[in-house]
């Protein structure tokens, strides 16, 4: 009775099967059966003799070092020798049924890569404005007191006292000869036309003149306090417009390469099912963050203007569509530290472990880049015991060859 038949009859847990197989392989020594015993099979055995062989190149001193072409052993440097080994494992129809072994062929499908990443609502830089003092003076009254305070376009942010502004007002009131130049001077110093006209109508200069918000939005930075001394370089407030916002997602370079050059996204707010925002195109910022090493992708979303700045969203970003991608079920791939492989049915009920190169995952399927053809039949269920049996047979064959080479 073979190992596969033994485990299939008892339906042991997978972890116990794996532990037993590893222990059995480790316990095999030079007293292993000879070639006749290895190739003979008892009548009714579930595992048929593995007559099909494949050519490999292995090291005489280290039989576990194998490859498909000639070369040298990375351990001792000896030339690898050509040898024939059993290709896979053959099982009876009863074992196929008892283990629930199912096979299928890979599928060719058009796919579109998708990644799920966090995103954040940020101010649209095209709607931002900075209000700065253009003279030397003092902020005698401040109407905006904190970051996050909303302001309307044209509303008074602060009132400033500056000797230069007082002098310009006096020139405005002297007469027609000086009124024109003085009016233009006040404009250049940041005073609104309505306030200049109010000074002209009043007939007297004002100690403080207002500084008004250039756009409607939210204060994102406050550079002064009431009583602060200001210069032409001083930032009074920074205002982010609320007519539109950006939603900015962060991608790692590998994710960006997976998606390609075209981006479409759907954003959801955690805790708010059924509410989503979409954007058909995004622009990549080709500068990696120095700390997180991520790249920003900005999406202009007009109907998200009611979201507070800094809100964290969940983003699903779709990339360039790809055609004719070879896909297999993710459950069909055996992933180990030595590489990825699938079991291919090379002949009726004869299964051969085959190394594959994987691509991205699409839902419950994995892309196969190398190692399989669209016409291959692969095991999609019950492959664990078959792979363990094939590995054990290969290990026994290696030890038999090593023992034969060591005997006088």
* Mean pLDDT along residues 348-364: 83
What residues contact 207, with CB distance under 8 A and at least 6 apart?
140, 161, 166
Q: Residue 79's CB: how many other CB atoms inside 10 A?
A: 11
Please answer whether residues 119 and 313 qualify as being in contact, where contact means their C-beta atoms are separated by less than 8 angstroms. yes
Cα–Cα distance, 238 to 149 (Å, whole number)? 11
pLDDT digits (tens, 9 = 90+) for 243-292: 667 888 988 888 888 888 888 889 988 888 778 888 888 888 888 888 88
C-alpha closest to that of 99 among 230, 198, 215, 3: 3
> Which residue would you say has higher pLDDT here, 389 or 166?
166
Q: Compute the distance between CA of residue 193 and CA of residue 186 in angstroms, rounded to an integer.
A: 9
Residue 352, pLDDT score: 79
Helix (H) or strand (E) holding 406: helix 383-406
Dihedral sign for Cα atoms in the order 168, 172, 173, 176? positive
- Per-residue pLDDT tens digits for 184-194: 999 999 999 99
The whole-angstrom separation of Cα 101 and Cα 349 is 10
Q: Can you give the length of the chain in residues?
A: 408
CATH 3.30.1490.20 at 114-124+243-321, yes or no: no
Residue 157 has pLDDT above 90, yes or no: yes
What is the pLDDT at residue 341? 82
How high is the pLDDT of residue 47?
39
User: Where do the CATH 2.40.30.170 domains begin and end in the chain?
Assistant: 114-124+243-321
Could you give the CA distance from residue 332 to residue 341 in angstroms, rounded to a whole number? Answer: 9
> pLDDT grade, residue 17 (50/70/90)?
low
**Looking at residue 217, what is its pLDDT?**
84
At 227 the three-state DSSP class reads coil
> Architecture of domain 130-240 in CATH?
Beta Barrel (2.40)
Over residues 171-197, mean pLDDT: 90
Q: Please state, as a whole number, how many other Cβ atoms lie within 10 Å of the Cβ of residue 118.
A: 12
SS3 91: strand
CA atoms within 13 A on the CB side of 145: 1
How far apart are the C-alpha atoms of 318 and 114, rounded to whole Å?
4
Q: Looking at residue 143, what is its pLDDT?
A: 92
pLDDT over threshold 80, residue 33: no
Confidence (pLDDT) at 40? 34
> How many Å separate Cα 20 from the centre of its chain?
38
Q: What residues does CATH 2.40.420.20 cover in the chain? A: 102-111+322-381
Taking residues 101-110, report their average pLDDT: 85
CA 70 to chain centre: 39
Question: How much is the CA Rg of the chain, to the nearest whole Å?
Answer: 38
Residue 142 confidence (pLDDT): 94
Average pLDDT over residues 39-59: 50
Taking all residues of the chain, what is their mean pLDDT, rounded to a whole number? 78
Q: 65 — phi, psi (to 5°)?
A: -85, 110
Report pTM: 0.54
Query: What stretch(es) of the chain map to CATH 2.40.50.100?
Result: 130-240
In angstroms, the CA 399 to CA 85 distance is 12
What mean pLDDT comes out for the span 191-198? 92
Token pair, residue 160, equals 């400033």
CATH code for residues 102-111+322-381? 2.40.420.20
pLDDT in tens, 112-154: 888 889 999 888 777 788 899 899 999 999 999 898 888 998 9
Q: Whole-angstrom Cα distance, residue 21 to residue 391?
A: 9
| Contact yes or no for 89/177 (Cβ under 8 A) | no
Higher pLDDT, 44 or 102: 102
């Amino acid at each position: 009775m073979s190992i596969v038949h033994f485990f299939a009859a008892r339906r042991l847990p997978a972890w116990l099967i794996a532990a037993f197989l590893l222990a059995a392989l480790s316990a095999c020594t030079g007293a292993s059966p000879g070639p006749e015993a290895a190739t003979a099979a008892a009548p009714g055995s579930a595992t048929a003799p593995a007559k099909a062989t494949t050519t490999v190149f292995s090291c005489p001193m280290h039989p576990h070092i194998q490859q498909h072409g000639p070369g040298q052993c990375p351990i001792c440097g000896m030339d690898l020798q050509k040898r024939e080994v059993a290709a896979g494992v053959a099982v009876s129809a009863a074992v196929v049924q008892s283990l629930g072994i199912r096979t299928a062929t890979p599928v060719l499908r058009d796919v579109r890569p998708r990644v799920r990443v966090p995103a954040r609502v940020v101010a649209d830089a095209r709607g931002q404005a900075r209000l700065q003092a253009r003279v030397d003076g003092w902020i005698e009254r401040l109407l905006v007191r904190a970051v996050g305070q909303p302001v309307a376009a044209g509303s008074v942010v602060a009132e400033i006292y500056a000797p230069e502004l007082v002098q310009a007002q006096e020139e405005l009131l002297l007469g027609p000869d000086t009124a024109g130049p003085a009016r233009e001077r006040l404009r250049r110093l940041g005073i609104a036309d309505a306030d200049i006209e109010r000074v002209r109508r009043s007939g007297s200069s004002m100690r403080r003149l207002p500084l008004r918000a250039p756009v409607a939005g939210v204060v994102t930075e406050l550079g002064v306090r009431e009583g602060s001394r200001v210069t032409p370089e001083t930032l009074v407030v920074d205002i982010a417009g609320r007519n539109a916002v950006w939603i900015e997602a962060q991608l790692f370079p590998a994710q960006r390469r997976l998606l390609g050059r075209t981006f479409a996204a759907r954003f959801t707010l955690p805790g708010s099912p059924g509410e989503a925002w979409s954007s058909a195109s995004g622009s990549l910022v080709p500068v990696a963050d120095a700390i997180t090493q991520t790249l920003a992708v900005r999406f202009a979303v007009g109907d998200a203007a009611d979201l507070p700045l800094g809100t964290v969203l969940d983003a699903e970003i779709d990339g360039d569509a790809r055609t004719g991608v070879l896909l297999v079920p993710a459950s069909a791939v055996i992933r180990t530290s030595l590489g990825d492989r699938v079991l291919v049915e090379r002949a009726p009920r004869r299964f051969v472990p085959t190394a594959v190169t994987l691509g991205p995952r699409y839902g419950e399927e994995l892309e196969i880049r190398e190692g399989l053809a669209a016409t291959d039949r692969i095991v999609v269920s019950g492959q664990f015991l078959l792979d363990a049996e094939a590995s054990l047979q290969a290990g026994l064959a290696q030890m038999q060859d090593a023992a034969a080479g060591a005997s006088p």
